[in-house]
Amino acid sequence: MSAHDHDHDHHGHDHHDSGHAPSTLKGYATGFILSVILTAIPFWLVMGKAFNNSSTTALVILGFAAVQIVVHMVYFLHMNARSEGGWTMLALIFTLVLVVITLSGSLWVMFHMNNNMMPTMHDMRVRP
Amino acid sequence: MSELTLNPTAGADAPRYYLRDEHHPENGTLLGFWLYLMSDCLVFACLFAVYGVLGRSYAAGPSGADLFDLPLVAVNTSLLLLSSITYGFAVLEMQRKHLRATLVWLGVTGLFGLGFLSLELYEFAHLIHEGAGPQRSAFLSSFFTLVGTHGLHVTFGIVWLVTLMFQLGKHGLTEANRRRVMCLSMFWHFLDVVWIGVFTFVYLMGVLP
């Protein structure tokens, strides 16, 4: 009986059992419009050759991608510090740490390997 | 499935406890599914790292600037973004308990997903036909692995979507089905997040001189 009461009470204010806030049309629409803008600008920057310098373009579009990922996380995946008692956020932060270590570590180590160990870059006389 | 994961912690009166817990807001399924997505995120991080390391090793073959067709990628990106918003509409209709509208939006999402997949397969077939298959260079191997893994995820997402539509048609918007819709929602939006990384890091940065 008490289980039933609890169940009923719960459904009064929340329509799915996720512990997330219920989704709203406003949230999805905001996320979609922001995503369209944040997608269109990088494509335009690259296809329209807005910057002469490649590394400037790369940094700017990576910035747009980072912002768009946050937009998706907030508006589509409904990430916030409260859902599931903060455990989703904690898992996300832990994953991001690992992702950053994986990406930056791989690029850094392999870049130095390429610089120092490629036979073509090496002085051939020291090779037997 | 959640039955099995909950039983060890529930003790002797597990079935009764489980029944009470079924409708509890802190049902572990969505958190567990989120953890799965995070581990999937690590898989993609590794593939991105591989592409980052090998992405400029052309082996005297074609480079990204020679191969990538940005208008096609833009169409692909918009298809995936549209499928994200239509999935959002499906979730909204599910919250309003409109079964038919939920199914319609899920169907539209599936069609956008199929459109994305067909364009990607067309692109792959085109590349392989041009002699730029995965065996051509390290760049192309890592490209096909990364983009192909994403495409494989989308394929399984569509399989899941169709299965879920049959389940919804048969059993209606039950508690379990609503949970499944929310899990697939996370999966689908997560794939869109990964695609942001793909089109930025692989395609847009790949054509930069």
Smallest CA–CA separation between B115 and chain A, in Å? 18
In the block, residue with structure tokens 């079935």: B15
Bigger pLDDT: B25 vs B86: B86
Bigger pLDDT: A121 vs A31: A31
C-alpha A51/C-alpha A111 separation (Å) is: 26
Taking every pair of Cα atoms in chain A, the longest distance, rounded to a whole number of angstroms, is: 86
Closest CA to B189 of A64, A74, A34: A74
The reply to whether A10 touches chain B by the CB within 8 Å rule is yes
Tokens representing A7?
């169940």
Tell which of A44, A95, A102, A107 to mutate to test the B interface (max B CBs under 10 Å).
Answer: A95
SS3 label, residue A16: coil
Fold of B29-206: Four Helix Bundle (Hemerythrin (Met), subunit A) (1.20.120)
The pLDDT of residue B128 is above 70: yes
In chain A, residues with a C-beta closer than 8 Å to the C-beta of B38 are 91-92, 94-95
CA A46 → CA A25, A58, B93, B205, distances in Å? 32, 9, 38, 8
The reply to whether B5 touches chain A by the CB within 8 Å rule is no
CB B148 within 8 A of CB B124: yes
CB atoms within 10 A of CB A43: 21
N residues, chain A: 128
The pLDDT of residue B22 is above 70: no
CB B94 within 8 A of CB B102: yes
The pLDDT of residue A1 is above 50: no
Q: Which of A7-21, A29-43, A70-84 has the lowest mean pLDDT?
A: A7-21
Q: Domain residue spans in chain B? A: 29-206
Residue burial B72-94, b: 16+ Cβ < 10 Å; e: rest: ebbebbbbbbbbbbbbbbbbbbb
Residue pLDDT, tens place only, B65-101: 999 999 999 999 999 999 999 999 999 999 999 999 9
ipTM of the complex as predicted: 0.82
The reply to whether A113 touches chain B by the CB within 8 Å rule is no
Closest CA to B66 of B117, B118, B137: B137
In the block, residue with structure tokens 């397969």: B121
The reply to whether B101 touches chain A by the CB within 8 Å rule is no
Give the model's pLDDT for residue B27: 65
The pLDDT of residue B131 is above 80: yes
In chain A, residues with a C-beta closer than 8 Å to the C-beta of B31 are 84, 87-88
Give the model's pLDDT for residue A127: 53
In chain A, residues with a C-beta closer than 8 Å to the C-beta of B98 are none
The identity of residue B86, as a single letter, is T
CA B179 → CA A93, B31, B172, B173, distances in Å? 24, 11, 12, 10
Helix (H) or strand (E) run with residue B96 in it? none
CB B50 within 8 A of CB B142: yes
Could you give the percent of chain B with pLDDT greater than 70?
Answer: 87
B192 and A72 within 8 Å at the Cβ level: the answer is yes
Residue pLDDT, tens place only, B139-185: 999 999 999 999 999 999 999 999 999 999 999 999 999 999 999 99
